[in-house]
Structure 1
Amino acid sequence: MVKRNQTSASVGRPREFELDQAVRKAMDVFWTRGYHDASLPDLLEGMELSRGSFYKAFVDKRGVYLRALDAYIEDAVRSVGETLHSNPSPKAAIREAFSQQVDQASGTEGLRGCFVVFAAVEMLPEDKEVAPRIFRLFRRLQDLYAAAIIRAQALGDIDPGLDERTLARFLVCQIQGMRVLAKAGADRAETRAMVELALKALG
């Protein structure tokens, strides 16, 4: 009985932690090749899955693409949220969040660009499943920055007369624009200069 259960598990649907690993490997494939140019053989090789395990876990290429996009979005929101709560000074935390973006927009990682921006350029506006995901990501990031701005305003570190939603939207737009320019070849000094200018909006 034990042997049958073990055999069944080995050829059945991958376990959850294996699925998460496979999704992140698929993300690398889509990030490199794009959704439309990533073939099933590309995905099977990159994810290290058999064809049968792939179909049992994800059904099709679109299924794993949406899972990969969701994983990237959750990682991004969690990382920014943690950073914005990492310092007793909300204004300093915002600066730290931007510093991390400079790191991500530098060197090889910068040239690779942002997976969500890549998805937006390739898939929008026609894709009705990808579009709301990207919209929600930017909304959630704006919410995080707006909350940090409100906390800073309460401490007197940011002008309370500034509208937190508009300022948060501006910051998120600056980050995404910075990632695009980095992919186009902007160096670290140029990226840092853009950040310093954007942060002046905080007062």
Structure 2
Amino acid sequence: MPRTPQFHRETALNNALYLFWRQGYHATSMKDIEEAMDMRPGSIYAAFGNKEALFKEALDAYFSMVEQNFRETIAKQPSVLQGFRQYLKDIASTGESCAPTKACMLVKTLLEFTPEDKAFSDPVYAYFDSIETMFKSALEDARSRGELSKQSSPGQLARLIQTNVIGLRTMARRSLPQAQLEVLVDDVIARIIPMN
């Protein structure tokens, strides 16, 4: 009969995710990982592989979290555009106590590695493409519901929103006063999601 693992895999992965998100890949030692996951090196390797494999799995879990958060935010609002507004406001909110840092883990990863480090940069580019596609799909839905004009370009709007999301996360990381962040959000919303 196979042995039952003596750890909760999802909890261990989440602990690694938050560690990498806070510290980055290079600044995180195996000792840090062992302590965060409460596992011995052999157990980590058996369950997740080496540090690089664990980091990539943590990136995948982060992307899933971003995707789920966006979809839930859109679903809770009476319209798609109001969902986008709330999503942007949530990003700029100083109340994100569950996040170890305001910086986006995907952006942090791109800044940590060069484009030549394809093992790390290529998956992040793919995640950004998926996020843009997710935004575009939601905006196409908004256009079909009459929330956007027929002449609007969901693809172009999706790229603009993604660019501004990255900018908002960067500004939020600077610990600006909440009032300033809200002005930035309102400006972004006015530029990319016109009020109808």
Please indicate the TM-score interval, normalised by the length of the shorter structure.
Answer: 0.7 to 0.9
Greater alpha carbon shift after TM alignment, 141-150 vs 73-82: 141-150
Greater alpha carbon shift after TM alignment, 141-150 vs 167-176: 141-150
Equivalences for 1:1-203 in 2 at 5 Å?
5=1, 9=3, 13=5, 18-103=8-93, 109=99, 112-200=102-190, 201-203=192-194
Instruction: Give the conservation status (yes or no) of the 8 Å contact 2:13–2:58.
Output: yes
Instruction: Give the conservation status (yes or no) of the 8 Å contact 1:86–1:93.
Output: yes
- Under a length normalisation based on structure 1, what TM-score does the superposition of the two structures give? 0.84
Unaligned runs of 5+ in 1: none
Instruction: Give the conservation status (yes or no) of the 8 Å contact 1:174–1:198.
Output: yes
- Give the CA deviation at 1:67: 0.9
2:12 & 2:56 partners in 1: Cα distance?
A: 13
- Under a length normalisation based on structure 2, what TM-score does the superposition of the two structures give? 0.86
Unaligned runs of 5+ in 2: none
Instruction: Give the conservation status (yes or no) of the 8 Å contact 2:136–2:158.
Output: yes
1:75 & 1:186 partners in 2: Cα distance?
A: 25
Percent identity of the aligned residues? Answer: 24
2:15 & 2:100 partners in 1: Cα distance?
A: 19
Whose helix proportion is higher, 1 or 2? 1
1:81 & 1:158 partners in 2: Cα distance?
A: 19
2:128 & 2:74 partners in 1: Cα distance?
A: 16
How large is the RMSD of aligned CA atoms in angstroms? 2.3
Q: 1:109 to 1:23 in 2, by over 3 A?
A: closer
Instruction: Give the conservation status (yes or no) of the 8 Å contact 2:93–2:172.
Output: no
